Amino acid sequence: METACGNPFLCPGQPVLMAPTRGVDAAELFREGWSCSQAVCRAFAKDFGIDERTALRLSCALGGGMSHMGNTCGAVSGALMVIGMKYGRTELDDLAPKEKTYELGQQFIHEFRRRNHSVNCTDLIGYDLSNPKELADAREKKVFHARCSKFVFDAGDILETLL
């Protein structure tokens, strides 16, 4: 998906030249106010028979690098949940789905890291969200909306390719 500047989430309001993708869907949910993890998880939940409310609840604590701790990016965590929704193991003695899930999870992480140089929230946004002052600064400077839309978009875009 391209706009005149090359990224629909860095250039809001510019015409989109291609049809929306799952990355676009996830980024729009994020812009509506859902956390990064919730936006990614909800964008794919219905595909796997999971109602949106359940997806939102399950993924809620993962935003901001796992509950504003600055660890793994919530968009990454939400994406790993989506991979588990599709391929996750449901029988204790069936290890093939577990291995498939881990393999796709690793592929996702490698691609996300290639695009963004990290999967760590603090590294990605430049603020330690576990520090109340830095969290407040990030909110005041609207860092989440300025930076995280791209990470949410990338997560949905990568998932669309992998799944």
Asked if residue 4 has pLDDT above 80, the reply is no
The answer to whether the beta carbons of residues 93 and 101 sit under 8 Å apart is no
Per-residue pLDDT, averaged over 136-143, amounts to 97
Q: Which of these, 15, 52, 59, 49, lies nearest to 155 by C-alpha position?
A: 59
Q: How confident is the model at residue 19 (pLDDT cuts 50, 70, 90)?
A: low
* Contact residues for 139 (Cβ-Cβ < 8 A; gap 6+): none
Q: How confident is the model at residue 1 (pLDDT cuts 50, 70, 90)?
A: very low
DSSP-assigned letter for residue 146: I
* pLDDT tens digits, one per residue of 86-97: 999 999 999 999
pLDDT of residue 2: 44
pLDDT of residue 3: 46
